[in-house]
Structure 1
Amino acid sequence: MKFFPKRYDRSLFIVVFILMMLKMLLFRHFVFQGIQVESLLPDAAAVLALLLLLDLITFARWRGAVFGLVNAVLSLLLFASTVYFSYYGTVPTYTALHGLDQVLQVRTSVGSIILPSYYIYFLDVAVLAVIYIVKRVRGIHSDGRKRIAKPLYTAIAAVLCVAISGGFIWSANTIPNEIVKAENLGYIDYQVAAAIKASKEQAALENGNVEETGAEAVALKSSYFDQAGDMVVAGTPNYFGFAKGKNVIVIQMEAFQNFAINLSVGGQVVTPVLNQLAKESFYFPHVFQQIGQGNTSDAEFMSNTSIYPTGDIAMSTGYGDRVLPSLPRLLGEIGYDSNTFHINDVTFWDRNRMYPALGFTTYYDKPSFDNDHFNSFGASDQELYRVGLEKLQEMKKQDKSFYAQFVTTSSHHPFKVPTELQHITMPDSLEGTQLGNYLTALNYTDYELGRFIDGLKASGMWENTVLVAYGDHAGLQTTDNDPAWVSEQLGITYDGQISRLNIPLIVHVPGAEGKIVNQVGGQVDIMPTVTNLLGISLDDKAFTTFGHDLLNTSQNVIGVRYYFPTGSFFNNDIFFIPGKGFEDGTAIDIRTKKPVADFSKYRGDYDYILELMKLSDEYVRLLPKRAP
């Protein structure tokens, strides 16, 4: 029995199948750095299922065009996903399409990481188009006046391939590690698995209740940790209300990693302003990024809500239509105006939806600033702070208490600071390197922050203001900066995982002595820490948070995902990254940066963080939508 009917052009099917499989191999080479024979089975089943289903529903006249189009689309998707992985370190799902409109905003950054070898995905597209045209000219295909009858065994083959793919998807259902799951399933089945997971999660919410979920989260946190420990004095949290009634300024510093604090290069201090600020403030040297698909906007979301990003969509895009419990809303209840400043267009990362969702009174975006063309985003940090200081002075004159958030951009990848604005000279060994450019950009960010602080002091606002400065996410690309080379150049121990995720957190409180707080934390911990200082009891308000007050926490576990697999976590001792599960994971000591062979005692932390992040996802999805 012949597998295809006589009138079927077998060569076209076979050629397209082979080409698509070669691209799957190429994707595995770029992303997973290796190819195992058994890993090709899910790819083959998925590709065959796709082509057979298309064969069943496509007229013969258009079959060549449809197959060619599918091949071209797959080429584009694999190319984009490879570039995405190079930049973010994770395999994107179809939900990343929501962020395609952001690409032009960061085209300079994205373009700098595209390797010429990635274009191999498209080599066959033109050739296949020529073959199709030749065949059309020769009249190989039927006239297409009616759909060609399909043999039963073609349909059976399609169903069989779908069933095989379904089996692979079902078997990988218990793997929380997205990278491992993607490697096991292959690109197409991984997308299907993501869609099935999203559908199940949505169905589970139909009978959900946001108050009950919040209560579950509170119970989970309180049962797993003794948060009070010996740090609470006479039943009152440390520093509770120490800054009550004061203004609050939050500086979110673009791509700012903690290793730059107290670092000197070529005899020059990289961050003199932040170094001094850290001495006079609460300085948290063991805080780590937790952002998801929304990157910088996710950091804004977390610092204001203490809710984890879901990881499958930018929070500004997916949840900008909600009423988000937040710091601006809490402060608004006691008479504060909340303002946020960002020199880019407010539609970037859908901030035009997120800021109202967070309850900000006013936002200032691109039209509010004079564009001095510092980088592809537009205005410099100098211009950001100039406008911000003017607005804050106006509120001071009106005797208004304020919360102001500043999102800097001058240290954004690829870290190009105009020569006339550079305040540090790199040694020859770093001149022109990404590391050298990065340190130059951080130095500029630090310099302009210093000028802003000087402006606050001159206007009489400094002594009545809590200033919080933190990094939104990593800056250095590991592919461009070998950790051993970075360590050698800077004279430090730089780890490609821990050092990369480690961001500074500095909280300056007038009247409080400087203190280094070595407690491990994350961006979900910023809001509870600030509210404690302001004398706002989240417990009394039944306010649900998924982080902790770092000034009153003796132990902590924070989850990390998207840039690392779900189930990854930091605690006071290690950074853990799961494999298929806990047992085959890896752990690194966060201080020595050495591998930890026996991490079995941290199994409870792994189970806890998976449950906590699950509850966080459920909680934010159940939040009510805002009125249009």
Structure 2
Amino acid sequence: MKNRMYGLGRAQFYMVSGLLLLKLLLLRMLFFDRIAWEWVAADAAPVLLLMGVLYLITPARMKTGVFWTFNMLLSLLLFASSVYFNHFGSVPTYLALYELNQVFQIKESVESTVELVDYLFFADIVIFLGLSFFRKWTRGRDFYRSSYISPAARRVHFMVIMVAIIGGLSLSTYSIHATRGITNELVQAESAGFLNYEVVAAVKVKEDNGLIETGDIKDTVAKVAALESSYSYSDKTAAAVPAYFGSQKGKNVIVIQMEAFQNFPLFQSLNGQVLTPVLNKLAKGGLYFPRVFQQIGPGNTSDAEFMSNTSIYPIGSQAMSTGFGDRVLPSLPRLLREKGYGAYTFHVNDVSFWNRKELYPAIGFDSYFDKGSFTDDQFNAFGASDEQLYITGVKELAKLKEKGKPFYAQFVTTSGHHPFKVPEAFQKITVPDHLKNTMLGDYLTAINYTDYSLGTFIDGLKKNGLWDNTVLVMYGDHFGLQPQAVDPAKIEAALGIKYDFRISRYNIPLIIHVPGMQQGQVVDQTGGQVDIMPTVANLLGVSLQQERFTAFGHDLLNIDRNVIGMRYYLPTGSFFNNDILFVPGKTFKDGVAVSLETLQPVADFSKYEKDYNYILKLMSLSDEYVKLLPKR
């Protein structure tokens, strides 16, 4: 009996180890569209290490159960990681996977990105369970025939286990050490292997915790100032009074963050139907920034809220609401509260979603209005429609007007959320038959409804005497169209425009309606979500320099060139400047660049290396700064 159990445990060790390696190779293919065989050993190493340790510490009679339980747990991890990658386009770290509890809030959206191939991670487990039930049904017939195992064979197997443990540990240690300096997370994950990549992330967290314990935020602020002074942006900053400074001083501010709203639908029509008539009019009559790009991290919409209010970069490995909701975050709402403003935020979902219950007081909002504040017309998984969001919003803002107190109000729309299913009763356009029940057709319908709802909001503001005294800021939080689901050629055919799967995808609108503006202005300056707060502050006459406010973005109305960093959806080190989008490889030299103007590859991008080095330092200092902020 003992010999049989030994033989069975040995067989299961080899079988499960092989299956797990195959699953990690499948994950490589799903992540990187290839299997780089020179790095496969980096996947095999941690599997052999863990399986070897389990073999040594597990009693013979329990080995089969332990091995297959480990197989199941790792399969769940790989499945979740693949689904995560499908939805977000990034290799998740264990910190990002902590956010899986948010999936139930966007279940419909996530389910639409699960692919049949993802279920292959469980194929062997289903077969194993089937055989086990069949074995039990046939009254315990032994399908694992055992034979005599000689002492020499036992010794050889023991040597294999020891080689697996020692070799696995050595190779994993080497892989982790060799890849830690790679800033491009995709290259880092491919080189280190998925499991080793998780260890790299854990090591970085430990180092960051050490920084928090020993760092001084004053030193960090000084380093930011030194970096900024070394990088010349514009001669305009030397002016006594920056352009537009204080032109809207004392005005109310309403910031509308539009869900999944890309810039390309503006000024476009579908079969003669104007897609965004309201935003088109606002863009023509106000400040329109057509070259603004998303910069969010794992927190997606909540990261956009964080950025637009604080001008701090997301760290890229964890939602800012989860990681920093316990801090005192310097922000525009806090600055305006000191000047007599009230600060409020409106969102139709439960405030616990993405830990907004902590994020909102961290940013400095006086109060929030969430799910229970709105009439639920069952628009989508979030509940109330944008129309209901604005009906409640106008009502509450009218009350504030009666008190004579200026306000800063943030609205987060949700009617345009993936998978973009607008109930028929709410649809305002008719898509052609060939676009019906496609992501592109659904997306354009959702965008149009978002625009329509905004029009009802503006009507409500005018009716209640709020419009003429309010600066209205509108921007998209992140892209909507999934690149694996919508061919750029279909977008180009439907609307007659050029669409690039990276530049157009990440390009979001920023429009600022300024009361009393006689003629609109198109501001072609490249910018990002970190630039929204400094730009609005300038209009309101809030000098960030005098307030000693550390911002990592810039006032887009007073610079002649700009560089903004992006990570998570693109690798760390990626940036947009006035000319190109740049994405690094292992280093700057093996990166790629695309022209913002022509959407064509740029072969010689060597002159932009200064921008690359600058943005890496700036984002690193932003991470350092936010981690050193005091807790509430």
Determine if the TM-score, normalized by the shorter chain, exceeds 0.5.
Answer: yes
Which structure 2 residues correspond to residues 63-462 of structure 1 after superposition, within 5 A? Answer: 63-129=63-129, 154-155=161-162, 157-227=164-234, 229=235, 231=236, 234-462=239-467
CA–CA separation in structure 1 for the residues paired with 2:15 and 2:24:
14
CA–CA separation in structure 1 for the residues paired with 2:128 and 2:165:
24
Report whether the alignment pairs 1:623 with 2:629: yes
State the SS of the aligned residue for 2:609.
helix
Deviation (angstroms), 1:152: 7.7
With over 3 angstroms needed to count, the CA separation of the structure-2 counterparts of 1:127 and 1:450, relative to structure 1, is same
Amino acid at match of 1:82: S
Aligned equivalent of 1:145: none
CA–CA separation in structure 2 for the residues paired with 1:58 and 1:233:
71
Deviation (angstroms), 1:560: 0.4
Deviation (angstroms), 1:78: 1.1
CA–CA separation in structure 1 for the residues paired with 2:505 and 2:250:
36
Task: Structure 1: give runs of 5+ residues left out of the alignment.
Answer: 142-147
CA–CA separation in structure 1 for the residues paired with 2:272 and 2:80:
42
CA–CA separation in structure 2 for the residues paired with 1:281 and 1:591:
23
CA–CA separation in structure 1 for the residues paired with 2:558 and 2:110:
41
Compute the RMSD of aligned alpha carbons: 1.9
Aligned equivalent of 2:484: 479
Deviation (angstroms), 1:421: 1.1
* Identity in percent: 57
Report whether the alignment pairs 1:526 with 2:536: no
CA–CA separation in structure 2 for the residues paired with 1:184 and 1:380:
45
CA–CA separation in structure 1 for the residues paired with 2:17 and 2:496:
52
Amino acid at match of 2:340: G
Deviation (angstroms), 1:431: 2.1
CA–CA separation in structure 2 for the residues paired with 1:234 and 1:298:
33
How many correspondences in the alignment? 614
Cα shift readout 1:18-63 (whole Å, capped 9, x = no counterpart) = 1101111111121111112212111111110111122222222222
Aligned equivalent of 1:144: none
Cα shift readout 1:438-473 (whole Å, capped 9, x = no counterpart) = 011111000110111111111111111110000000
CA–CA separation in structure 2 for the residues paired with 1:20 and 1:258:
43
CA–CA separation in structure 2 for the residues paired with 1:55 and 1:261:
61
Deviation (angstroms), 1:209: 1.0
Deviation (angstroms), 1:218: 2.1
Aligned equivalent of 1:580: 586
Aligned equivalent of 2:502: 497
State the SS of the aligned residue for 1:372.
coil
State the SS of the aligned residue for 2:435.
coil
Cα shift readout 1:466-522 (whole Å, capped 9, x = no counterpart) = 100000000001111111221122100000000000000001111233100000000
Deviation (angstroms), 1:208: 0.7
Aligned equivalent of 1:14: 14
Cα shift readout 1:210-240 (whole Å, capped 9, x = no counterpart) = 122122112212211233x1x3585211010
CA–CA separation in structure 2 for the residues paired with 1:260 and 1:216:
41
**Mapped contact 1:338–1:362 kept (Cα < 8 A):** yes
Amino acid at match of 1:485: K
Cα shift readout 1:175-214 (whole Å, capped 9, x = no counterpart) = 1111111111221111111111211222233221112212
Report whether the alignment pairs 1:59 with 2:59: yes
Deviation (angstroms), 1:264: 0.8
Report whether the alignment pairs 1:564 with 2:570: yes
Deviation (angstroms), 1:160: 2.6
Amino acid at match of 1:78: L
Deviation (angstroms), 1:128: 3.0
CA–CA separation in structure 2 for the residues paired with 1:464 and 1:29:
55
Aligned equivalent of 2:149: none
State the SS of the aligned residue for 2:434.
coil
**Mapped contact 1:232–1:238 kept (Cα < 8 A):** no
With over 3 angstroms needed to count, the CA separation of the structure-2 counterparts of 1:232 and 1:188, relative to structure 1, is closer
TM-score w.r.t. the length of structure 1 is: 0.95
Amino acid at match of 2:243: N
**Mapped contact 1:209–1:622 kept (Cα < 8 A):** yes
CA–CA separation in structure 1 for the residues paired with 2:529 and 2:578:
15
CA–CA separation in structure 2 for the residues paired with 1:541 and 1:232:
16
CA–CA separation in structure 2 for the residues paired with 1:529 and 1:26:
46
Amino acid at match of 2:81: S
TM-score w.r.t. the length of structure 2 is: 0.94
2:607 pairs with 601, 610, 613, which one?
Answer: 601
CA–CA separation in structure 1 for the residues paired with 2:216 and 2:208:
14
Amino acid at match of 1:549: D
Deviation (angstroms), 1:97: 2.5
**Mapped contact 1:321–1:625 kept (Cα < 8 A):** yes
Deviation (angstroms), 1:137: 7.8
**Mapped contact 1:576–1:587 kept (Cα < 8 A):** yes
CA–CA separation in structure 2 for the residues paired with 1:198 and 1:403:
35
Amino acid at match of 2:202: A
Amino acid at match of 1:215: A
**Mapped contact 1:557–1:570 kept (Cα < 8 A):** yes
CA–CA separation in structure 2 for the residues paired with 1:622 and 1:131:
55
